[in-house]
Amino acid sequence: MGLGAVPGRQPAFREGLAVAVQYAKAVDCPRIHLMAGRVPVGADRAAVAGEMETTFIENLRYAADILAQEDMIGLIEPINSRITDPRYFLNTPHQAAAILEKVGRPNLKLQLDIFHCQIMDGNLSRNLETYFPLIGHIQIAQVPGRHEPDSPGEVNFPYLFQLLESLGYTGYVGCEYAPKGDTVDGLGWLRSYWESRGLQHEETGKATE
């Protein structure tokens, strides 16, 4: 789950970053997820929070400088600690925004996963509006099953998609979910959404470009 905020692992973080940059260049991907890592086993989160944040800020500044040389963006993603990973250091968009402000690098952005945000905080519309200037990537999955956005669950994705459009979001939306069945069949939600927006099937290829 990464090493970004793990004290004493700075050399390993830098080695991993160098490899990630090479992979990203090979596949022409301009964004790299800089994972924070976990609170050490047996440690109290509150007791180590300050040291871990300091380590994370140090590593993020280093990463931002390296990525700037390649015209790349670094992303940090809050991952919920209630279900997915109780020990992951970065777990709310509020925490991520505060760290990005302290780092102070324009090529570091927030990777906002709607699944994790809903579990930790809810208030999705206001969070998207508040943190929109920081967002560099969006990921989606229905809550609580983590399946397709049209599967039964808590989140009204058509509303959120329209909100993102109204905010002017032009980036990718990552389908960070586990398909309930066949992957391609599971993308039926996307065809239905396009049709609801007045797009024909022959136009969908153009819409994704």
Q: Which residues are catalytic?
A: 77, 176
> Read out DSSP for the chain?
-B-TT-TT-HHHHHHHHHHHHHHHHHTT--EEE--B-BPPTT--HHHHHHHHHHHHHHHHHHHHHHHHHTT-EEEE----TTTT-TTBS---HHHHHHHHHHH--TTEEEEEEHHHHHHHT--HHHHHHHHGGGEEEEEE--TTT---TTSSSS--HHHHHHHHHHHT--S-EEE-S--SS-HHHHTHHHHHHHHHTT--GGGHHHHH-
